[in-house]
Structure 1
Amino acid sequence: MTPQPTRAFTGRHIATIMVGFFGVVITVNVMMARMANSTFGGVVVENSYVASQHYNRWLDEAAAEEALGWTAEMARRADGHVALELKGPAATPQAVFAVARHPLGQLPERVLHFDPAAPESFVSAEELPAGRWRLRLEVRSDGKLWRSEGDVR
């Protein structure tokens, strides 16, 4: 049995391996950066220091809202209007509206105003396009404010 001649590992081989390795790393990094940038919805708060000064007030407001004991169920109807059912003790709101936000910020925000449809039931005056939406609901009743968030499809 005759030994096979071995090929020498040259600088050209290591250069090919290094260019291939870093080419893959750079390609993946650029792809991930583009994906992250295209799905970023924007700034959460303009100034985190100023936001932190309001934190205790926000906690107090949340506790007062929770003490009301209200719950909301939202659903998009076939005609595009949003149906809202508000339940809880003494849930007689004077004003109900919501801000609809597209989760990825691809569509502009929409403000929805709700009209009474039946006791504890409301229907939006505006239509909401098909798709997934995040609704920030605000209900005002006898000087009290209650807020909630929910997804609507």
Structure 2
Amino acid sequence: MREQTRAKSFTGRHMTIILVAFFGVVIAVNFTMARLASSTFGGTVVDNSYVASQQYNEWLARAAAQDRLGWDTEMTVDSSRYLLLAVRKEGVPLGNVQAVATVHHPLGRTAPVTLRFESATGGALRSTRPLAAGRWRLDLVVRHGAAEARYREDVR
């Protein structure tokens, strides 16, 4: 005699298990993504966008004045991770240039570090301390006499 196999029916218990598993996965993924997003957020560009908008025209005027200086900058990192900076005007290195930079991690994971520069060969400037390995955002202020220029560069 053959034994009859009885097909199991789909019950409310099965549906409950499926719904709980589905929404459990969705909630777990959402919490994971929210945690990763908040842990890597580096902050805001400006603290108060209204105040920044009031200074916009002044920023444009300073940028135009900086462009009129005609300075070209070249930043490189040597094998020892020292930052080399060359400031030129019409291809000729500017003499008696002073520079200071603030470097910070683009995602805000480390505190900003101030870099000072000293004279190097060929009219260039060399940072007095090396950069740590990784990607850095460099805010550079260059002064030559009364003229001042500001640059922002990403350095690896």
The amino acid of 2:137's aligned partner reads R
- After superposition, give the CA deviation of every residue in 1:60-100 in whole Å (9 maximum; x if it has no partner): 11122122222222122233321111222374454211111
1-side partners of 2:62 and 2:29: how far apart? 45
Show structure 2 runs of 5+ residues with no match.
none
Overall identity of the aligned pairs, in %? 46
2-side partners of 1:20 and 1:64: how far apart? 62
2-side partners of 1:38 and 1:137: how far apart? 27
Q: Which residue of 107, 129, 132 corresponds with 1:129?
A: 132
TM-score by length of 1: 0.85
What residue number does 1:138 align with? 141
What residue number does 1:85 align with? 86
1-side partners of 2:66 and 2:147: how far apart? 8
Q: Comparing 85-94 with 67-76, which one deviates more in the overlay?
A: 85-94
What residue number does 2:39 align with? 38
What residue number does 2:108 align with? 105
Any idea what SS the aligned residue of 1:15 has?
helix
Contact 1:41 1:105 in 2 (8 A): yes
Runs of 4+ residues deviating >4 angstroms? none
TM-score by length of 2: 0.84
Q: CA RMSD in A?
A: 2.1
Contact 1:93 1:139 in 2 (8 A): no
Show structure 1 runs of 5+ residues with no match.
none
